[in-house]
């Protein structure tokens, strides 16, 4: 029976079940009643607390993840040491499946779906790389697909236990690299050529690993035919990746897709993408009808010529081509208006002239009558 299950640690985390177990420790699902949330608690085996290298690695993971705030990076809440001497990390609980599990359940990813996922992963790594953190152990098991806020296929990058970062020496405060040149860390199937040779690493090493993961996502196969970990290491160093259409005949991945993917798998790191953001920009061309897709010139022309809904002064009737007569129509109805306005002043002038004629006629008749009367008198 696991000694932690059913126990409350740190006075606030109730351990409910075991999520996974490894050589360094175990990961548990726990409830934090005060915050009304589930968390994951990683506990290092107490017997390993005397191993300074493992303790540094465990602390490095906590520090690396606590520095990162990208939404696609698993969040760390607490880090410390239990009364038993065991080190622990409390992080967000990820309710989902990792990429390997999804592949086993659903088969290969469509290129469009795979690109959307990997673009988000690139965003998380871009933040880590800018903070001076290199993951060094990217593999499908370390990317979990969750449903966050109703957003499906929301990846979370975790397990920075092998992360390479500049770490301050606790005694002097000076910066030091916690790994030695020539040491090989990581998972053979997904490590970069320079990582397989024990050379110093940089962000482009993670980009190579992402390329291998993406290759496996869309083929459910690795880019090399190898029998054991040492074969994979040798292939990463010397062999070119097998093109997808040769590895999986009939694959929906076209030549334009392979050109983007194969650049991430180049042997020389100088020939790869310079950053995770640059890799994401390349993958954006895979996305169909997405915000990150790059429309063709024809597509852009259609968009430019399309009427914008942000023009409030334009009435809906004026949008389609058929609206041209509707624009002329008000000109026809406006023209009679000036004629009518000009006719109104003419009416009183005509009446005034008629009045003068009547008065003049009366005066003439009066004069004639007076003359007749004088003559008769």
| Same structural domain, 3 and 124 | no
- We report the CATH number of the domain holding residue 60 as 3.30.200.20
- What's the pLDDT score for residue 142? 93
**Domain encompassing residue 75:** 1-93
- Asked whether residue 271 is assigned to any structural domain, the reply reads yes
Of 62, 93, 124, the one marking the end of a domain is 93
Q: Could you tell me how far CA 50 lies from the centroid of its own chain? A: 42
Of 274, 303, 332, the one marking the end of a domain is 303
- Mean pLDDT, consecutive 10-residue segments, the chain of 377 residues? 91 95 86 96 84 79 83 92 88 94 95 97 96 91 93 91 48 36 68 93 96 97 93 95 93 91 97 98 84 36 32 40 43 43 50 74 80 76
- As for how many domains the chain has, the answer is 2
- Asked whether residue 261 is assigned to any structural domain, the reply reads yes
Q: Does residue 344 carry a catalytic annotation?
A: no
| Same structural domain, 132 and 276 | yes
Residue 307, token pair as written in the block = 């009427």
Rounded CA-CA distance 216/322 in Å is 53
- Asked whether residue 135 is assigned to any structural domain, the reply reads yes
CA atoms within 13 A on the CB side of 177: 12
| Same structural domain, 79 and 126 | no
- Asked whether residue 340 is assigned to any structural domain, the reply reads no
| Same structural domain, 107 and 183 | yes
What strands, in cross-sheet order, belong to the sheet with 13-21?
8-9, 13-21, 25-32, 37-44, 87-92, 76-81
| Same structural domain, 118 and 100 | yes
- Asked whether residue 299 is assigned to any structural domain, the reply reads yes
Of 69, 93, 117, the one marking the end of a domain is 93
- Asked whether residue 329 is assigned to any structural domain, the reply reads no
Query: pLDDT tens across 87-101, in order?
Result: 899 999 999 999 999
Q: Which of 83, 126, 137, 167 is catalytic?
A: 137
| Same structural domain, 129 and 84 | no
| Same structural domain, 78 and 165 | no
Rounded CA-CA distance 213/120 in Å is 14
| Same structural domain, 110 and 84 | no
- Asked whether residue 353 is assigned to any structural domain, the reply reads no
- We report the CATH number of the domain holding residue 192 as 1.10.510.10
Please work out, in degrees rounded to the nearest 5, the angle formed at the alpha carbon of residue 41 by the alpha carbons of 105 and 177: 95
Write out the DSSP string of 246-293.
HHSTT-S--HHHHHHHHHHT-SSGGGS-SSHHHHHHHHGGG-SSSTT-
| Same structural domain, 19 and 79 | yes
Query: pLDDT tens across 143-164, in order?
Result: 999 998 889 999 999 987 555 5
| Same structural domain, 243 and 206 | yes
- Asked whether residue 370 is assigned to any structural domain, the reply reads no
| Same structural domain, 121 and 3 | no
- What's the pLDDT score for residue 289? 55
| Same structural domain, 165 and 124 | yes
């Amino acid at each position: 029976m696991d000694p932690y299950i059913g126990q409350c640690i740190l006075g606030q985390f109730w351990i409910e079940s075991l999520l996974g177990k490894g050589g360094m420790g175990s990961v548990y699902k726990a409830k934090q009643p005060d915050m009304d949330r589930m968390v994951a608690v990683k506990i290092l085996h107490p017997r390993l607390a005397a191993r300074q290298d493992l303790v540094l690695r465990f602390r490095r993971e906590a520090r690396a993840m606590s520095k990162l705030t990208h939404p696609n990076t698993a969040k760390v809440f607490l880090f410390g040491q239990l009364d038993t001497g065991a080190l622990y990390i409390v992080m967000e609980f990820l309710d989902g499946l990792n990429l390997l599990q999804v592949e086993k359940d659903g088969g290969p990813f469509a290129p469009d779906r795979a690109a959307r996922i990997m673009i988000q992963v690139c965003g998380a790594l871009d933040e880590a790389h800018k903070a001076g953190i290199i993951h060094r152990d990217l593999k499908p098991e370390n990317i979990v697909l969750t449903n966050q806020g109703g957003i499906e296929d929301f990846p979370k990058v975790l397990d920075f236990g092998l992360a390479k970062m500049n770490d301050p020496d606790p005694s002097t405060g000076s910066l030091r690299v916690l790994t030695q040149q020539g040491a090989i860390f990581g998972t053979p199937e997904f490590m970069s050529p320079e990582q397989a040779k024990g050379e110093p690493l940089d962000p482009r090493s993670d980009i190579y690993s992402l390329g291998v993961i993406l290759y496996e996502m869309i083929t459910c196969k690795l880019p090399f035919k190898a029998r054991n970990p040492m074969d994979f290491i040798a292939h990463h160093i010397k062999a070119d990746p097998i093109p997808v259409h040769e590895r999986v005949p009939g694959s929906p991945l076209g030549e334009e897709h392979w050109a983007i993917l194969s650049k991430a798998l180049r042997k020389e790191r100088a020939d790869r993408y310079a950053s995770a953001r640059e890799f994401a920009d390349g993958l954006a061309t895979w996305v169909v009808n997405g915000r990150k897709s790059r429309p063709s010139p024809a597509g852009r022309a259609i968009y430019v010529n399309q009427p914008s809904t942000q023009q409030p002064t334009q009435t809906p009737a004026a949008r389609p081509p058929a609206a041209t007569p509707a624009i002329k129509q008000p000109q026809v109805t406006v023209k009679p208006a000036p004629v009518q306005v000009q006719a109104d002043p003419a009416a009183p002038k005509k009446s005034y002239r008629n009045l003068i004629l009547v008065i003049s006629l009366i005066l003439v008749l009066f004069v004639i009558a007076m003359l007749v009367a004088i003559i008769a008198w």
